[in-house]
Structure 1
Amino acid sequence: MLVSDVAMPAAVAARPRDARGIPVPAITRWRQGVPQFTEASGERQLLCALTHRCSVCGQPMDPDATVWHVMDGQSSKWIAYALKRGAEPAGEFSTYEVPGHYACMLYAAVACPFLATPTARRTVTGDKPGDPDWVSPGTRRGALSGLVEFAHAVVDVGDDYSGYEVVLSRPRTIHTYRHGSELRPLLDQAVKKQTAHSGGDQDAALLFGPDEYLVVRELNRLLESRRIRPVGTGNL
């Protein structure tokens, strides 16, 4: 399946693209003008989380609306089991990955090789173990995934920026799948409806574009306003 054949939300279509014309997610790290699709930037994810922006398109999400996140393995099975029986799964789900708009997350689940393919494996790490964007090389996605709608999402940042977590709770809906292609009918429907954010925030493409230092500067400004220690730029 070619990415060019996949229906694309307008907000995703407005993203900066690589040399092949593939839209680059807001959380993807850039190095010397080249997007590193296998690296999710911790700084970008935290900036999206703190400003309530979609991890895929980088545009704002309605603070009163639900959010969507791809869950793997046991969490998907448990949520699907509970919702099928009319129960709301208890507890919270902590992750370093930022949620997003429904249409954008559908697009990611269909087009991203790691999210779409059960046999896919991570090929590179982030910067080092302990960083919020570090994933062990060779990690498998798992046989089953689920795109989950959560009613509540908050970001928890340590006072000394020792790390952060996105805490998701109150699952409302789940679309389970083994291969992303199973979600294409839902993606087609969502693109046709063109949700409210499709008009776009003109600053999103610039802020979450190739300039990593711009991301860090904006994140530090935000952290300092909240009296949290700024992040460094050693990994850029």
Structure 2
Amino acid sequence: MVALPRRMKHLAADGRGYPVIATVERSPEGVDFGSINERRKLALAAFDWCAVCGLPFGEELRWQMVFEEGALPTAISGEAPVHEVCALYAAQVCPHLFSPHARLGDEFRKGTVRDAVVRFVGFESTSSVFAHESGLQRGVHTLHFEHRGHADEFSYRTSDEIEERFSSALEGERDLRFSEAEGVLIRLFNRLDDGGEGDVVTGAALIAGAAFAKDIFKLQGMGAFQGKHYPTVAGLLLKGTASEIREFSRGSGDEAFSAVGPWVLERAGGFPEPLQEWRSRGESMVRRSKSARPHGPGRSVPKNAPCPCGSGRKAGRCHPAGIPAGSPHP
């Protein structure tokens, strides 16, 4: 029996008792460990969370399975990064990672055998995240993560070769610190109910600035967010005043939206690199004018229409005074 890292004990378990890792598709009806959810990867990228435990990296290295040999100043992967202890745990319980004879079984990679030697590299930072057209499915985009600063690594043929390293990682495991607002987002993100029409924390990631990432709405599974007003609200969280952001958070009526405003304010000047890159791109897409009319009932949106903030509630109930200016170019 492989010991569960302390930072994974908050995860829900499936019917067999396995922890439900952060990236996999889930619903109240069940969990699909063979399906990686691109919407959830977007939230991981925006908030700088581990793809296994769904908790922050902080000062820890970002670990990624790689296939190249030699030193790697940079690496690009379609997989989101993980903590070292989470990588070591996964290497011992994931069928594809622990067995040198494992084969992938999805329809696009059926029969692919695991490399004889599995190599994980720890990088100092995730420097960029971008939407890239899948080489397996034409027209479908997936998120790719670029890492910089090769700082450490381990490799193995069979999982018993890393047992000693795993024991050391468990002994040295540190508690991860995060604010009350981030704690709300983490709790919502790691529940089994993903919120129905798309993940609620993915919506929060969009308004934090991910809505400005190039081709982001082309990502697989982003149809639930297409055509809604996430860029408009992202504009408010990009160029709005602190009081406007707090007012939006208090009146959003959505728990994730209520938490992301305070998170943006407390992280100002210290955003994860990919999110900062997206927000910088948004600077050229968003107009800010004191004379601009706010969106809302009595302004440009009827009171019974969906609120422009994207909450799904009627505008008259969600933001009766309107949302302050901060909207993207058409």
Q: Which category describes the TM-score, using the shorter chain as reference length? A: 0.7 to 0.9
How far is the alpha carbon of 1:203 from its aligned partner? Answer: 4.9
Structure 1, unpaired ranges of 5+: 83-88, 126-134
Equivalent residue in structure 1 for 2:92, among 104, 110, 120? 110
Using a 3 Å threshold, how does the CA distance of structure 1 residues 174 and 205 change in structure 2: closer, same or farther? same
TM-score where L is the length of structure 1: 0.76
**Does the Cα contact within 8 Å between 1:122 and 1:136 map onto a contact in 2?**
yes
**Does the Cα contact within 8 Å between 1:154 and 1:168 map onto a contact in 2?**
yes
Structure 2, unpaired ranges of 5+: 133-139, 226-330
Distance in 1 separating the partners of 2:106 and 2:81: 22
Match of 1:131 in 2: none
Match of 1:232 in 2: 223
* Residues 6-39 of structure 1: per-residue CA shift (max 9 Å, x gap): 0211111221001121111111111443111111
Distance in 1 separating the partners of 2:148 and 2:99: 26
Match of 2:161 in 1: 182
Percent of pairs with identical residues:
23
Match of 1:194 in 2: 173
Aligned pair count reads 207
Question: 1:156 aligned to 2:152?
Answer: no
Match of 2:152 in 1: 173
* Matching of residues 1-236 of structure 1 within 5 Å: 5-62=1-58, 64-72=59-67, 75=68, 78-79=69-70, 82=71, 89-90=72-73, 92-125=74-107, 136-158=109-131, 162-197=141-176, 201=183, 203-213=185-195, 216-226=199-209, 227-228=211-212, 230=217, 231-233=222-224
**Does the Cα contact within 8 Å between 2:189 and 2:199 map onto a contact in 1?**
no
How far is the alpha carbon of 1:94 from its aligned partner? Answer: 1.0
Further displaced range: 51-60 or 184-193: 184-193
Using a 3 Å threshold, how does the CA distance of structure 1 residues 155 and 14 change in structure 2: closer, same or farther? same
What SS class does the counterpart of residue 39 from structure 1 fall into? strand
The one of the two structures with greater contact order (alpha-carbon pairs below 8 A, sep at least 6) is 1
Distance in 1 separating the partners of 2:141 and 2:119: 29
Distance in 2 separating the partners of 1:52 and 1:199: 12
Further displaced range: 42-51 or 225-234: 225-234
* Residues 170-203 of structure 1: per-residue CA shift (max 9 Å, x gap): 2121111012232121111211222232999575
Larger radius of gyration: 2
Using a 3 Å threshold, how does the CA distance of structure 1 residues 220 and 138 change in structure 2: closer, same or farther? farther
